[in-house]
Chains A and B, each alone.
Chain A
Amino acid sequence: MALTTAAFDWVRTLVRKESAIVLEPGKEYLVESRLVPLARAAGATDVSAYVDGIRLRPDRRATTAIVEALTTNETSWFRDGAPFQAFSTSVVPALKQARAATRSLRIWSAASSTGQEAYSLAMGLKDGVVSEGWRAEIIGTDISSEVVEKAKAGRYSQLEMNRGLPAPLLVRHFTRVGTQWQVNDDLKRMVRFQQLNLTSSYAALGQFDVVFLRNVLIYFDLETKRDILSRVRKVIKPGGYMFLGGAETTLGVDDNWDRELIGRVSVHRPKNGGQA
């Protein structure tokens, strides 16, 4: 049966409380489809029954799992659109000038999950600077080795392929393999994935022109956020950029960044050229 209003409201309140994300009325379909795997794993007959069961006896693991399922939207390509536009149309051209001597760019996707962000960046760079003979290297890291393995494989289901990927890029960069789609080798070669906890050292990663640190700081407390931001700043080359998630900011957390607006998109530049 479909989610009752009461059940939906309970979920909305939970998600808002734990993550500050607001699910408007009308998003019942989103809740239903996102909670399907959890409900199935729990042996419920449908999502409605699953949610009602947890409403009656809330437990921390279940409510956390629900919040995560509804707030992690990382399975989209070019998530939120505008940051990738800003990257391709403003940041990369600016870097092309700044790095004209080396003709090489390094990007870090610092919460790369199943790889869509990193491969999206690769697509932008491939059709941009790489075609002009530049070298571009993208490093994708995530705390979960499971998603890192999936990202390395570069194989996605049809449902995943429908999520925000422009059709012309799909046909250019992917090939069908059975019921799934596989990233082509020439794109895959641009990206390296590895497991990394953001609370650990970044020393082995090298220096980057751009860091994408989107929608992951939310999982850390203030002190840890500060620590992460200060260490991220140290791996950004002079004149480099950091992208945070749409609702995120360094304000009140770390004042060693300058903020610039590219259209509606905020980018952060290390103050003092990125040195300690």
Chain B
Amino acid sequence: MTELIEDLEPDYVEDEALAQIVEQMWASYFAHVEFLLPSFEPHDIDGEILCASVTISGARPGIVTVSVEKGVASPLAAALLQEDDDALPAEDVYDALGEVANIVGGNIKALVPDAGPLGLPVVSTAKPLHGSSGRLAARLDANWRGQWLTFEVWLAGAGDTTPQNTGQEH
């Protein structure tokens, strides 16, 4: 009996590429604060998170997410906005996190052949669901000021359904 050979497509997106993209983003917009420290081990965030995601459409639909521990969302936004006060209105926090997802997502999208436009960022308190056949193509866990951020790229294989971004919009 011949075995079904798994999808032999090349990995368009890998951990290394995601790490480079996140690092370049950090160097461009967060150079004035402490470094983002990548972890060699995955670190699942316990407790409440805030998650921003953007969808990639086209031949290889996917979703790029950035999830942060709730306590780091506001300081992260303040850092991006270059504001001293960590206590920002929720709207600004979601917007900043959404833009982080936008920047990472757009650069990830450029690695995927025949991709359509990037979806607008969606921010929620839960990670979005992805199609059951979507696989985790790349992941980066990183620590900033003692708290965790997780970047993930989920990509469907050929012929899979588009991952659904079903998080609640704020």
Contacts and interface: CB of A to CB of B under 8 A. Distances in A.
When A and B assemble into the complex, do they touch directly, with CB atoms less than 8 Å apart? yes
Interface of A: 1-3, 28-29, 32-33, 36, 39-40, 45-48, 157-159, 176, 178-179
Given A176-B110, A179-B107, A46 B17 contact: no
Given A1-B33, A46-B34, A179-B107, 9 more contacts: A28-B32, A29-B31, A32-B31, A36-B27, A46-B33, A157-B24, A159-B24, A176-B110, A179-B17
Contacts, number: 43
A48 B32 CA distance: 8
A3 B32 CA distance: 7
B27 A159 contact: yes
Contact of B32 (A29, A158, A176): A29
Q: Select the residue from A39, A157, A179 with max chain B CB neighbours within 10 A.
A: A179
Nearest to A2: B32
Interface residues of B, number: 14
Contacts of A179: 17, 20-21, 107, 110-111
Contacts of B20: 157, 179
Contacts of A158: 24, 107
Contacts of B110: 176, 179
A75 B21 CA distance: 19
21 contacts: A1-B32, A1-B33, A1-B34, A2-B32, A3-B32, A33-B28, A33-B31, A36-B27, A40-B35, A45-B35, A46-B34, A47-B32, A157-B20, A157-B24, A158-B24, A158-B107, A159-B24, A176-B110, A179-B17, A179-B20, A179-B21
A40 to B, nearest CB: 6
A32 B35 contact: no
Contacts of B17: 178-179
A38 to B, nearest CB: 12
A178 B110 CA distance: 8
B49 to A, nearest CB: 24
B121 to A, nearest CB: 20
Interface in B1-33: 17, 20-21, 24, 27-28, 31-33
